[in-house]
């Protein structure tokens, strides 16, 4: 069995992307002192990589740890772990297609988790939101007196079930979680989920909203998931985050 050091050494490019993703998400105001981003190990699908418990804007390469799909870190004595690491472990276990996960409390999204107004795509770069963005209701899984956090694998599994095959799940009274096929893809979706929420609320104040049709959303999502499109915005964000 590989050691944590071997697993980190064989995933250097992903480790670098993760460090950049933490800083980008902070610069883009998706995360503040809270929130986290992870990536599945590129060679070992039963492992994922994520920082120790730390504010995302200050994450460095030495903070990245290896985790198992039970949510526990491997060979990390003395390191403090994110309470909500089970969001990541449960999604990687449930969704073989997912290679990266972003969990945040980005503010514009919150109203769509606590009202009956669905989050729907209002512009082309947000087409990935599709026809229906699911909302996770923690009361249905754990009763009326939780602190809203995903503190166990069982809660992570319940949340992953609500996510289903979607790219994003809203978490009532808490935040949201976006997934993708790469770190850049998940970061893109997290950033533009927040952008769409802000624009949708603005549009609704003006009058009835003309949303993207499901076919428009699908076509736009395919265009924007193309590697050359993603790379353009990712490289820009990355250079900004390093400055
Ligand atoms: Zn949270």
- Whole-number Å distance, alpha carbon 153 to ligand 1 midpoint, is 14
Per-residue pLDDT at 2 exceeds 80: no
- Per-residue pLDDT tens digits for 58-92: 999 999 999 999 999 999 999 999 999 999 999 99
Q: Which two tokens stand for residue 119?
A: 């989050």
CA–CA separation, 121 and 213 (whole Å): 9
Residue 203 and residue 129 in contact, taking contact as beta carbons nearer than 8 Å: no
How many angstroms is it from 175 CA to the middle of ligand 1?
6
At 38 the pLDDT is 98
Interval between CA 147 and ligand 1 midpoint (Å)? 10
Query: How many angstroms is it from 214 CA to the middle of ligand 1?
Result: 29
The arithmetic mean of pLDDT across residues 231-239, rounded, is 94
Tens digit of each residue's pLDDT (9 = 90 or more) over 157-212: 999 999 999 999 999 999 999 999 999 999 999 999 999 999 999 999 999 999 99
Q: Using one digit for the tens of pLDDT, what is the confidence trace for 204-228?
A: 999 999 999 999 999 999 999 888 8
Express each pLDDT in 146-158 by its tens digit. 999 999 999 999 9
Q: How confident is the model at residue 1 (pLDDT cuts 50, 70, 90)?
A: low
What is the token pair recorded at 233?
């915005």
Q: Which two tokens stand for residue 208?
A: 């009835």
Q: What is the SS3 assignment for 139?
A: helix
* Residues catalogued as catalytic: 84
> For residue 42, what pLDDT is reported?
97
Residue of 27, 34, 47 lying closest to 187 (CA atoms): 27
As a whole number, the mean pLDDT across the chain is: 96
C-alpha distances in angstroms, 186 versus 102, 202, 206?
A: 6, 25, 30
Query: What's the 67 CA to ligand 1 centre distance in angstroms?
Result: 18
Q: Which residues surround ligand 1, an ion (CB under 5 A)?
A: 84, 175
């Amino acid at each position: 069995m590989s050691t944590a050091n071997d697993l980190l050494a064989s995933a250097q490019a992903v480790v670098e992307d993760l460090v950049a993703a933490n800083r980008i998400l902070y610069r883009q105001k998706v995360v503040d002192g809270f929130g986290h981003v992870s990536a599945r190990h590129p060679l070992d699908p039963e492992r994922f990589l994520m920082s120790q418990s730390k504010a995302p804007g200050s994450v460095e390469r030495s903070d990245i740890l290896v985790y198992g799909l039970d949510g526990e870190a491997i060979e990390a004595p003395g390191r403090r772990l994110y309470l909500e690491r089970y969001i990541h472990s449960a999604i990687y276990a449930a969704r073989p297609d997912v290679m990266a996960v972003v969990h945040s409390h980005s503010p514009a999204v919150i109203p769509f988790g606590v009202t009956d107004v669905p989050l729907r795509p209002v512009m082309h770069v947000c087409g990935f939101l599709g026809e229906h963005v699911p909302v996770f209701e923690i009361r249905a899984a754990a009763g009326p007196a939780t602190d809203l956090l995903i503190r166990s694998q069982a809660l992570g599994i319940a949340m992953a079930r609500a996510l289903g095959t979607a790219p994003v799940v809203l978490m009532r009274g808490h935040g949201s979680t976006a997934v993708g096929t790469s770190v850049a893809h998940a970061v893109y979706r997290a950033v533009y989920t927040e952008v769409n929420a802000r624009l949708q609320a603005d549009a609704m104040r003006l009058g009835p909203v003309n949303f993207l049709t499901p076919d428009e959303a699908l076509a736009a999502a395919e265009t924007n998931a193309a590697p050359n499109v993603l790379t353009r915005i990712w490289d820009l964000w990355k250079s900004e985050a390093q400055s």
